[in-house]
């Protein structure tokens, strides 16, 4: 049986990401729902690793924290208040203390190439949320990047299970799964042949 493993809101925690990847069943498809950066101390390293995994076939979506890094001047200081300073620190040379601005620009350019929504036969994957009133191809980024589902709201998307992050707290409902474990990085393992939520959670 083929599996899809989904992770979100890594937030610069390289060690936690590596520990999860060690548990992923061999041959699984990987999907990342964004927020690779900010808060943790190893954002640059996380981005480098995820880009390598993308080259091997992983699906990588863009989160709202990537949006803040790409557009800091339009966010009114929001990026720094949400862990951006830790991200900048991760791009500093450990010997000279100089920021590798070229690498930061390269990573920001990569963020801007990433989609905000992905779907397969049974599920829709997104960073924050989707709204059934919009087609997936035209889903507003105010929803895909920033939406927060009301507590207990069991909304899917036109018959598909929705898998998302962004709102801290693991949620497993009939039509929706949230995988943002907050301080505990979590991976949802989904059976590709069966609709619905994860068959296992890895931490």
82: exposed, middle or buried (Cβ count in 10 Å: 0-12, 13-18, 19+): buried
Task: Give exposure, 131-166, as e/b (b: 16+ Cβ within 10 Å).
Answer: eeeeebeebeeebbbebebeeeeeebbeebbbbbbb
The whole-angstrom separation of Cα 188 and Cα 177 is: 9
pLDDT at residue number 75: 61
Block means of pLDDT (10 residues each) for the chain, length 203 residues?
A: 96 98 97 97 98 98 96 76 92 93 97 98 98 97 97 96 98 98 97 97 97
pTM of the entire structure?
A: 0.96
């Amino acid at each position: 049986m083929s599996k899809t493993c989904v992770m979100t809101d890594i937030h610069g925690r390289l060690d936690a990401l590596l520990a999860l990847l060690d548990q992923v069943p061999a041959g699984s498809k990987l999907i990342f729902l964004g927020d690779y950066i900010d808060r943790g101390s190893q954002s640059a390293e996380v981005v480098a690793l995820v880009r390598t995994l993308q080259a091997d076939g992983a699906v990588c979506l863009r989160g709202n924290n990537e949006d803040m890094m790409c557009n800091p001047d339009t966010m009114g200081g929001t990026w720094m208040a949400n862990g951006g300073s830790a991200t900048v620190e991760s791009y500093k040379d450990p010997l000279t203390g100089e920021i590798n601005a070229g690498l930061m620009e390269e990573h920001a350019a990569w963020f801007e190439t990433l989609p905000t929504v992905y779907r397969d036969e049974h599920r829709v994957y997104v960073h924050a949320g989707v709204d059934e009133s919009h087609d997936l191809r035209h889903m507003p980024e105010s929803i895909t990047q920033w939406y927060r589902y009301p507590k207990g709201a069991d909304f899917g998307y036109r018959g598909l299970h929705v898998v998302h992050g962004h709102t801290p707290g693991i949620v497993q409902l009939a039509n929706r799964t949230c995988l943002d474990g907050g301080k505990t990085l979590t991976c949802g393992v989904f059976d590709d042949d069966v609709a619905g939520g994860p068959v296992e959670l890895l931490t």
